[in-house]
Amino acid sequence: MNFLSTIVTFENLHEVRRLCHWGPIIALSVIAICSTMAIIDSIIWYWPLDTTGGSINFIMLINWTVLILYNYFNAMFVGPGYIPLGWKPENQQEAQYLQYCRVCQGHKAPRSHHCRKCNRCVMKMDHHCPWINNCCGHLNHAYFTSFLLLAPLGCSHAAIIFIMTMYTQLYERISFGWSTVKIDMSAVRQFQPLMPFSVPAFAATLFALGLALGTTIAVGMLFFIQMKVVLRNKTSIESWIEEKAKDRIQHYQTEEEFIFPYDLSSRWQNFKQVFTWSGTPIGDGIVWPVHPKCHQHTLTIEQLKQKADKRVRSVQYQVVEDYNGACCPVNKGIQTFFRTPCTEEPRIPLSKGDVILATRGTKWWMYGDKVLHDDKLRAGERIRGWFPRRCVEKCHYDTASSDSTSDKKDFV
């Protein structure tokens, strides 16, 4: 009993709750369906275990499933690593180069970002992945990328099993008209399956084939995108920061030269920053090796410049029409309904008279921060998200630059 109590703690039970989300439910269902159908098709209809090839094929299918689930659950439960609550740099003078997070009541370490879903500042945050219901960051980046590699490989193997099962079982029943395709079916004719390949079995195999091919294409593309940033020792967020840095320099025609500080000028060195034999990434998630021409706060200083530029470019709008925060509002016009942003970023409810500082938008939607009272700002509250453009109108007087909230940092 004491042994169980040391393993099953309240913290562990809280982590298990991550499984109760549509992302892990769908991901694990796809893995279960493809793996189960591949094993059943192999043993019963395509490649029996009493053959050498069938035994090897069975072991490979089991290995794919184990490796995929191992990396998937590690990516989910190991987590990205979080900046300690109330963290501050050892050298207090360095605090001027860092952003402050009012939610976590501490400074944001280099490469960290606050995740609204996890409600914590995440070490080297890449993105919040709904499929693992957790962030991808410093500690689980290798597990997550390995999962993105193994899932397409395993699904490709399963897809071959599904195709060959349907072909061999339907060979005698359907004339495909493939006069140029010559496959030796003598071994298949000699093999008597344990049960007939019925219509439900065909439908289940065809459905699993669709899942396997879809997963191979979709997850395979994600793997190549992820490896592109890994080999440059970046994250998806940092790639976006680098693009904005170039735009800012070009817009203001400054003589600055922005060098991404964490690219070690060698793909192999960048690769080893994430992948290690022990599975534990290099570093503590706070201090990082940097380019010789940069220092620890090169990126954080650039972020502060971009935050200041964002406040300068923000436009003040006043709400003229109530909005309840619906993702696809039916009473705001057909175009607004069908052109809703395809993102997990929140929508914010609006009331007439509210003031919004908009920072970006589309033809039908806008994104911005709601101007709050000082007491809510001191409490760390912040309301930002998407809202229909038709609900606001631009203020004819420029108070965005003089508003008290515009002088405050973009804390989260």
Q: Which residues are catalytic?
A: 129
Terminal Cα distance for the chain, rounded: 43
Rg (CA), the chain: 27
Three-class DSSP category at 383 = coil
141 contact partners, CB below 8 Å, separation of at least 6? 80, 124, 126, 230, 274, 281
Task: Report yes or no: 249 and 258 within 8 Å, Cβ to Cβ.
Answer: yes
Beta strands in 215-340 (DSSP E): 315-319
User: Within a 10 A sphere around the Cβ of 43, how many other Cβ atoms?
Assistant: 18
Three-class DSSP category at 113 = strand
What's CA 262's distance to the chain center, in Å?
Answer: 21
Task: Report yes or no: 381 and 83 within 8 Å, Cβ to Cβ.
Answer: no
> In which region does residue 30 sit, left (phi positive, over 0), alpha (psi from -120 to 50) or beta (all else)?
alpha
Angle between helices 141-170 and 199-230 (to 10 degrees): 150
